[in-house]
Amino acid sequence: MGKPVIKVEHLGKTYRIRSRDIAAYRSIREELVQAFSVFKKSNSFKSKTSTFHALQDLSFSVDEGSVLGLIGRNGAGKSTLLKLLGRITEPSSGRIKLKGRVMSLLEVGTGFHPELTGRENIFLSGAILGMKRQEVRRSFDEIVQFAGVEKFLDTPVKRYSSGMFVRLGFAIAAHLQAEILLIDEVLAVGDIEFQKRCLGKIGEVAKGGRTVLFVSHNLGAIEQLCDSAMVLEKGKLAFLGSISEALRAYRQFNKNAAVRNFISEQQVIKKVSICSEKPDDQHFTTGSVLHIDVTIRSERVLQSPVLGIVVRDHYNVPMIGINNRHYKLDFENVRLKSGMISIRIPHLPLVAGAYSIDLFLGDIHGDFEVLEHAIDFLVDNTGDQFVHAKLDKRLNRVFIKNVNWEIRTDGI
């Protein structure tokens, strides 16, 4: 461990939320309407502006050559922190000191233009991410080989398969020559084989003495890659320390994190909560109960509502995807305006790990609200009542509780 290369002091970022119109940009008409309404009813608009603290009084430092994982629930401020470190937005308070070149990789294929060829895009994206032309040229062959797109170098990337696109984007990023690398959730895409290669590449980068900040929902990846981690909770630093302690701390926080409220007025889904057997029980294990309550308040009536859930594992791979239409019980004659839909999975078939639930709400006319990563939960492997011996993690992604085993011995 070397000297600190990132030092953050009392960092804060505040957003102004205007609950009336969520869009930050406005049209002149709206501006004029607002200007006139000031005369009419003086502070009706002001009262609706509220502030949201994405990050508050955050102080920490990162040493040279360390790989720091950032964990925290959705909206905890992980991405905001990366954006501040990467200078994409400016802090509202506090300061950041950085040593060396910083490159941010918040998306795979940053700056790609669909009309340009793979070759052209390597140079374009490299330049946009901050590489010099000679640097791109030097690692060009390696990038092409890593991505495995030799044959398609002169094909426009719009004709690439999504897998090829992602591979090329990541290959460029993996060859960035920066002292500090900021990586956000990029491994959530691509096939598992490639994800593993990427993880390996990031590991290599870190061994080369560079500092990596890594945000992921993939706790497995974080555990594998990082030597320390930071847990963010509602924009504040909740824990900073070794990876194993950080994961333990995160799980601790998650125990009382089973409710998520959505404040947006436009949104119909207002609240999601999960629990196990009892309402205050947040301990999920393979085979235990998963109970999900979704509170809904809609402006208009939903004719025969459909609620779907997709449970994704930490590679973002869907493990379960069901909605009420898949079951005999249907809400065909139900008219819903305000209420709650509950889902109870009596025996959770998932093995230990971190999972995330997407919600899909629709009615007879189709889907109209999708909440990705609406709520996260962890399945623990301690105290499994149903799994008697340790499951081989490499082979098992699900565990079926009620499997009948029979044995017949016909004499010896």
Partner 1 sequence: MNRDKDYDLIIEAGKSELNYWKDILKYRGLCYILVWRDIKVRYKQTLIGIAWSVLRPLLTMLIFTIVFSRIANLPSEGSAPYPIMVFAALLPWHFFANALNDSANSLIGNQNLITKVYFPRLLIPVSAVMTSLVDMLISLILLVILMCFYGFLPTWRFLWIPAFMMIVFFLAIGAGALLSSFNIKYRDFRYIIPFLIQLGLFISPVGFSSSIVPEQWKAVYILNPMVGIIDGFRWAILGGTLEWTAILISLMVTLLLLISGLFYFRKTEKKIADII
What residues make contact with partner 1 under the rule CB under 8 A? Answer: 3-4, 7, 12, 15, 24-29, 31, 83-84, 86-100, 102, 104, 106-107, 110-111, 113, 115-116, 120, 123-124, 127-130, 132-133, 156
User: Residue 55 CB, nearest distance to partner 1 (Å)?
Assistant: 12
Q: Which is nearer to partner 1, 68 or 296 (CB)?
A: 68
Question: How far apart, in whole angstroms, are the C-alpha atoms of residue 328 and residue 41?
Answer: 54
User: Residue 58 CB, nearest distance to partner 1 (Å)?
Assistant: 13
Q: Which is nearer to partner 1, 115 or 142 (CB)?
A: 115
Q: Which amino acid is at 406?
A: E
- Comparing CA positions, the residue from 73, 70, 92, 94 lying closest to residue 82 is 70
Q: What is the DSSP string of 216-240?
A: -S-HHHHHHH-SEEEEEETTEEEEE
The token pair at 279 is 């309402």
Question: How far apart, in whole angstroms, are the C-alpha atoms of residue 202 and residue 214?
Answer: 10
The token pair at 136 is 């791109």
User: Residue 210 CB, nearest distance to partner 1 (Å)?
Assistant: 15
User: Residue 5 CB, nearest distance to partner 1 (Å)?
Assistant: 8
Distances (CA, A) of 382 to 40, 281, 286, 389: 63, 15, 9, 12
Q: Which is nearer to partner 1, 89 or 242 (CB)?
A: 89
User: Residue 2 CB, nearest distance to partner 1 (Å)?
Assistant: 11
The token pair at 145 is 């080989």
Question: How far apart, in whole angstroms, are the C-alpha atoms of residue 313 and residue 254?
Answer: 16
User: Residue 29 CB, nearest distance to partner 1 (Å)?
Assistant: 8
Q: Which is nearer to partner 1, 30 or 367 (CB)?
A: 30
Q: Which is nearer to partner 1, 106 or 319 (CB)?
A: 106
Q: Which is nearer to partner 1, 75 or 349 (CB)?
A: 75
